Structure 1
Amino acid sequence: MVVEAFFWRNRAQPPEEIEKLPNLLLLSGPPSCGKTSLLFQFAFNVAISLTNSTTSKVFFICNRHKLDSKPPFLSQGIDASSDVFNRIQMKYVNDDEDINKYFAAFHLYDVLPAAVIIDDFGDFFDNRICQERHCNPRGRDLAMVRSLALCHNAITYANQKGSCKLLLSDTYHGDSPRLHFIYKKWIPSILTIKEGDEGGSFILKDKSSSGTQNPERTKVAKYSIALQYLLLERIVEDQTG
């Protein structure tokens, strides 16, 4: 169910399916694998499922310069002028302090969002600035832990009032995602992206097996970015672990 939430299959997911998704998720993958497009599709899927569209919103947090230079691609079949996009509110931030301010004020909001999505979460933590701020060579790790704890507490509070999902994305280089040991403490559901066998194709895998009865069985989606579209090729059960 988790993997499906990142794609459009010519129908809206029922609200009850969205509510069953884990409250905290991480999408982790290499550069240029379509993470922002997947996040935006997730935002659209949550937004279209909202029954009270006049008040509920999905917040998409990102760096404006990065988004403008590399905008997300939509799935085929989605109208770019759809009113659903009015339920997605863009919030542009520059660093981790901006993120912390947003979540620190969560309890003051009259209407809590249905979902908060942060694109390239790790990129908001400048290594040198974090080291100076914490007077520690591992200042970036400490700053990330602080922000993740704040995010976790805010989303826990929100889910005492209703349903609110938090989705982060992170970019890793090479075969070993270095920061997963930090994320795992706060984010129970982690999805990873790897390059597929064919050029331009990618594999999205739910590493957490959340919601499945068999912990050895996971959902795998094969997709590509082509002709300025996010294209889902297939979703299958994967029992390789």
Structure 2
Amino acid sequence: MVEELFFWSGSNHPNPLQQLQHNSNLLLLSGPPSSGKTSLLFQFAFNVAAALHSNPNVVFICNRNRLDSKPPFLSQGIDPSSNVFQRIQIKYVNDDEDIRKYFAAFHLFDKLPDAVVIDDFGDFFDNKVCQQRYSNARGRDLAMIKSLALCHNAINYANQKGPCKLLLSDTHTHQGDSPRFHFIYKKWIHTTFTIKEGDISGSFILKGRSYSRTDTTGTGNMKAAKYSIALQYLVFDGLVNAQVD
């Protein structure tokens, strides 16, 4: 599943959405800084847009300055002039309120997206601003919970019309406030992809884990892939055995 979602295997690439469980509508990609998360997200968006043939609509939500300063890398073999890129809509937002406004208007869209991707979701929640807004020391947590609940409702609404997935990335799950962020995400997200550094400098291991009501440990559905960023390309180095944490 990890390979089909985040890497490219040519024009016969399978539909990545078909690799996901039916109840995996919200997905999380977590990893340390500079581990290629934006590249993996954009490759996912490209894969979805390339595999679907009924005028797909994939929305990539991000901060403009961050994307301009660190553009994503794609796999070798992808034509930079491909019309697939025209099926990916880049939406720039500045903060968590912009994200909530977008999902609050989901029911008004003439055409719902097949997938929505949000790069560095946690970074849109400024701690000081959220504390002032909610007059609460845990304002950022409250803002994230409110936003995730709205995302969950919007994506569930979209899936009444047709398949729609939401993929978020976050770095905070690998920092000092990791336990709290994991607790917040786990309520709404049952499929997570975790990046860890590989045994060689510049290489990484991407592991997928799906939680279900009957498998609360998340160990029943694990895949892992090794990759690297080399010569401005996202390089898939093969599947590896996943280790249970």
Matched, 1:150 2:154: no
* Residue number in structure 2 paired with 1:199: 201
* Residue number in structure 2 paired with 1:19: 18
* Residue number in structure 2 paired with 1:234: 238
Residues 83 and 199 (structure 1), Cα distance of their counterparts in 2 relative to 1, 3 Å cut: same
* Residue number in structure 2 paired with 1:185: 187
* Residue number in structure 1 paired with 2:40: 38
Q: Deviations over 1:189-230 (max 9, x none)?
A: 0110010000000010013268xx994451100000010000
SS at match of 1:202: strand
Matched, 1:52 2:54: yes
> Partner amino acid for 1:177?
S
- What RMSD in Å do the two structures reach over aligned CA positions? 1.9
Residues 207 and 175 (structure 1), Cα distance of their counterparts in 2 relative to 1, 3 Å cut: farther
* Residue number in structure 2 paired with 1:160: 160
Q: Deviations over 1:138-185 (max 9, x none)?
A: 000000000000000000000010011100000134487331110000
> Partner amino acid for 1:231?
V
SS at match of 1:207: strand
Matched, 1:93 2:97: no
Q: Deviations over 1:82-141 (max 9, x none)?
A: 100000000000000000000000011110001000000000000000000001000000
Gaps of 5+ in 2: none
> Partner amino acid for 1:130?
C
Quote the offset at 1:235 in angstroms: 1.5
Conserved 8 A contact 1:3-1:206? no
* Residue number in structure 1 paired with 2:65: 65
Residues 151 and 23 (structure 1), Cα distance of their counterparts in 2 relative to 1, 3 Å cut: same
> Partner amino acid for 1:19?
Q
Conserved 8 A contact 2:205-2:226? yes
**1: CA distance between counterparts of 2:54 and 2:83?**
13
> Partner amino acid for 2:192?
I
User: Among the aligned pairs, what percent are the same residue?
Assistant: 68
SS at match of 1:147: helix
Conserved 8 A contact 2:62-2:118? yes
* Residue number in structure 1 paired with 2:75: 75
Q: Which stretch shows the higher mean deviation, 171-180 or 135-144?
A: 171-180
Conserved 8 A contact 1:96-1:125? yes
**1: CA distance between counterparts of 2:26 and 2:3?**
14
> Partner amino acid for 1:32?
S
Residues 218 and 20 (structure 1), Cα distance of their counterparts in 2 relative to 1, 3 Å cut: closer
* Residue number in structure 1 paired with 2:141: 141
Quote the offset at 1:4 in angstroms: 2.7
TM-score scaled by length of structure 2? 0.91
